[in-house]
Amino acid sequence: MPAGHATPDNPNAQTPLAPSEGSAVTEAPLVIDAAGWLSGGRRVESPNADERPAGEAICLAVIHAISLPPDEFGGDDILRLFTNTLDPAAHPYFAGIAHLRVSSHFLIRRDGELIQFVATTRRAWHAGVSNWQGRSRCNDFSLGIELEGGDAHPFTDAQYAALRPLLRALAERHPVQALAGHSDIAPGRKTDPGPYFEWPRLVGTGIPPRQC
């Protein structure tokens, strides 16, 4: 872990205050550097990543939703899951997932805080068994973005205000041609980001929602 970066046990280290849920927020422009990291962003590196296949273009961004424990917000258990430090005894639900080795490139919390776990140049383990327009192994050619939330909850204005500039930055750095939900690449197995996700709010980000 690079010096000065936050960890699950010290999540507030060098992290600016984020606006509260539902408050007015400003969409500040973001930049992804050549190494695949968000410049100036909060970084909590996950070991659950590897190299993409040689020559594989990044052409898809996938929107997920996650909350740990389910339907509870604001804790650091998502960070612990992605860094293999989740305590299986801390909650009954965790006993069934603590062994998983998963990650996402980004997480956007309810207050709009943006956290990066994996460089965009590398393969995060977010998609699982998946297919996009006849192509399997979506992790090979996609970027994963988790929103703290769930199928039964609308997402916050702060989350959309963080997501839109992130998508613009990704489109500037990589040849991303399409935007999909986890449910689109794993139908019948996954339902996120769910019915409350407002796809029209992503128009103008440089990536067409749910189409190539």
Structure confidence by residue, pLDDT tens digits, 74-127? 999 999 999 999 999 999 999 999 999 999 999 999 999 999 999 999 999 999
Of the listed ranges 38-42, 57-61, 128-132, 156-160, the one predicted with least confidence: 38-42
pLDDT, greater one: 181 or 20: 181
CA distance 150 to 67: 7
| Whether pLDDT at 19 is above 80 | no
| Whether pLDDT at 210 is above 80 | no
CA distance 135 to 141: 10
Q: Where are the domains of the chain?
A: 42-202
SS3 call for 47: coil
Please count the CA atoms within 13 angstroms of the CA of 119 that sit on its side-chain side.
10
Catalytic residue among 27, 146, 148, 198: 146
> Residue 25: what pLDDT?
59
> Residue 26: what pLDDT?
72
* Strand boundaries in 21-98, DSSP class E: 42-43, 49-51, 60-66
| Whether pLDDT at 21 is above 80 | no
Arch. (CATH architecture) of 42-202: 3-Layer(aba) Sandwich (3.40)
Annotation says 72 is catalytic: no
Q: 174: which residues sit within 8 A by CB, 6+ positions away? A: 32, 57, 58, 120, 143
| Residue pLDDT, tens place only, 2-17 | 333 343 344 333 333 3
